[in-house]
């Protein structure tokens, strides 16, 4: 089968590779679409020791089941694999399982014509939900999960709150749109990339600005969601959040200093780290996508798998929209 293989820092190759052999309780899914995630880029840059080349990356996937009891069904893949037996799994917090892993991390991912996955990781799609639209389920589930933490910490109605999102990539954009669905009207998105900033202005009603050159009234925020996760953005979040407010930290760019823990302590600011999502978040994300309240059009590119190497380069150079979704050949 054809697959886009991560072969080393800033290198990918389109290769013919052996098809995966399903283990017990697994099935084969013929992939139709798979989005490029920020974590895929982190690995591509050589910054993720968990992803060792050569490796097929990719986990934001949808497709058609080929084998097993769901054969022939159109599905979205929840790429998060857990033990299902520990206390966190049994309590509905399976994303915190000590044995958690994603496809495209240790095991082959979905930048390929097929992938092997457990049937419990599959959600059957409604017939009228397009594959490209459904491929946003995984990143939107991350956004739904993180936004929930922010909303839970509000001390006034969402409609009266100010929310700042740092980063206008896919997670930042989807989080901002998820905040909008929760009733937040005063929304600001900081984005340094002019291409993405223009797209935000064209396809949303979000207020977007370049934090390097502009200084809008984005301070005193009830919630600051850091979708970048760098020392610089942690410092910015520390400054922007209001006393008693909440910083939701979902980005994982680096681990550099920046968070002002003294101010967070003196002003009773909540700092919440958030990773992945629960199965309930994944189901909610699919429901939102099916409703059409959030969609991929206007800020995502659909590109063939053979253009995957160029797609990684475009993202690296800042010449790509917030999301690129690769379409598999069949």
Tens of pLDDT along the chain (330 residues)?
A: 999 999 999 999 999 999 989 998 899 999 999 999 999 999 999 999 999 999 999 999 999 999 999 999 999 999 999 999 999 999 999 999 999 999 999 999 999 999 999 999 999 999 999 999 999 999 999 999 999 999 999 999 999 999 999 999 999 999 999 999 999 999 999 999 999 999 888 888 888 999 999 877 778 999 999 999 999 999 999 999 999 999 999 999 999 999 999 999 999 999 999 999 999 999 999 999 999 999 999 999 999 999 999 999 999 999 999 999 999 998
Q: What are 97's two structure tokens?
A: 């399982």
**Domain co-membership, 102 together with 8:** yes
For residue 62, what are the β-bridge partners? 33, 76
Domain co-membership, 6 together with 85: yes
Q: What is the C-alpha separation between 299 and 321, in angstroms, rounded?
A: 6
Q: Is residue 116 part of a domain?
A: yes
Q: Which domain holds residue 312?
A: 2-135+296-327
- Longest pairwise C-alpha distance within the chain: 58
Q: ω before 54 within 30° of 0 (cis)?
A: yes
Tokens 């396809």 map to which residue?
203
CATH number, domain containing residue 57: 3.90.180.10
- Convert 303-313 to b/e letters by CB count within 10 Å (16 or more is b): bebebbeebbe
The predicted pLDDT at position 202 comes to 85
The residue with tokens 């301070």 is 219
Based on the fold, state whether residues 149 and 119 are members of the same structural domain: no
Query: Do residues 43 and 146 both lie within one domain?
Result: no
The answer on 98 and 154 residing in a single domain is no
Q: Say how many C-beta atoms besides its own lie within 10 A of residue 213's C-beta.
A: 7
Residues 165 and 76 in one domain: no
Q: Are residues 310 and 269 in the same domain?
A: no
Beta pairing class for 74-77 and 122-124: antiparallel
Cα distance between the two ends of the chain: 10
Would residue 83 count as lying in a domain? yes
Q: Where are the beta strands (DSSP E) in 111-233?
A: 114-118, 122-124, 162-166, 186-190, 207-209, 221-226
Return the pLDDT at 85: 94
Task: Say yes or no: 168 and 115 in one domain.
Answer: no
In a domain, 59, yes or no: yes
Q: Is residue 81 part of a domain?
A: yes
147: three-class secondary structure by DSSP: helix
Q: How far apart are CA 254 and CA 155, in angstroms?
A: 31
- The 3 state secondary structure assigned to 11-53 is EEEEEECCCCCCCCCEEEEEEEEEECCHHHHHHHCCCCCCCCC
Q: Exposed (0-12), middle (13-18) or buried (19+): which is 8, by Cβ within 10 Å? A: exposed
The SS3 call for residue 236 is: helix
* 290 within a domain of the structure (yes/no): no
Q: Are residues 181 and 148 in the same domain?
A: yes
Give CA–CA dist 80/63, Å, rounded.
16
CA 197 to chain centre: 18
Domain total in the chain: 2
- Does one domain contain both 145 and 268? yes
CATH code: domain of residue 203:
3.40.50.720
Q: Left if phi > 0, otherwise alpha if psi is -120 to 50, otherwise beta: which for 8?
A: left
**Is residue 79 domain-shared with residue 165, that is, in the same domain?**
no
CA distance 278 to 212: 35
18 and 80 share one domain = yes
In a domain, 177, yes or no: yes
Domain assignment present for residue 280? The answer is: no
User: What DSSP element (H or E) covers 177?
Assistant: helix 170-181
**155 domain residue, yes or no:** yes
């Amino acid at each position: 089968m054809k697959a886009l293989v991560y072969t080393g820092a800033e290198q990918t190759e389109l290769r013919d590779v052996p098809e995966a052999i399903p283990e017990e309780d697994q099935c084969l899914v013929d992939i139709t679409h798979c989005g490029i995630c920020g974590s895929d880029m982190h690995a591509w840059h050589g910054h993720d020791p968990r992803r060792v080349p050569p490796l097929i990356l990719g986990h934001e996937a949808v497709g058609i089941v080929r084998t097993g009891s769901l054969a022939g069904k159109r599905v979205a893949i929840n790429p998060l694999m857990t033990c299902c037996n520990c206390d966190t799994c049994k309590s509905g917090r399976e994303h915190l399982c000590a044995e958690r892993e994603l496809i495209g991390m240790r095991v082959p991912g979905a930048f390929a014509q097929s992938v092997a996955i457990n049937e419990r990781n599959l959600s059957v799609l409604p017939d009228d939900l397009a594959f490209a639209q459904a491929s946003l389920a995984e990143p939107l589930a991350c956004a739904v999960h993180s936004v929930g933490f922010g909303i839970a910490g509000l001390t006034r109605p969402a409609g009266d709150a100010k929310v700042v999102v740092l980063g206008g990539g896919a997670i930042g954009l989807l989080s901002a749109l998820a905040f909008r669905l929760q009733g937040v009207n005063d929304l600001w998105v900081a984005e340094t990339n002019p291409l993405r900033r223009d797209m935000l202005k064209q396809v949303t009603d979000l207020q977007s600005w370049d934090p390097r050159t502009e200084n809008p009234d984005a301070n005193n925020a009830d919630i600051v969601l850091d979708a970048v996760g760098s020392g610089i953005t942690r410092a910015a979040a520390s400054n922007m959040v209001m006393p008693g407010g909440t910083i939701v930290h979902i980005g994982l760019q680096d681990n550099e200093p920046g968070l002002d823990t003294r101010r967070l302590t003196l002003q009773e600011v909540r700092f919440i780290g958030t990773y992945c999502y629960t199965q309930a978040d994944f189901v909610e994300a699919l429901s939102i996508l099916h409703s059409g309240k959030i969609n991929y059009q206007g800020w995502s590119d659909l590109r063939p798998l053979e253009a995957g190497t160029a797609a990684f380069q475009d993202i690296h150079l800042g010449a790509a929209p917030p999301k690129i979704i690769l379409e598999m050949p069949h």
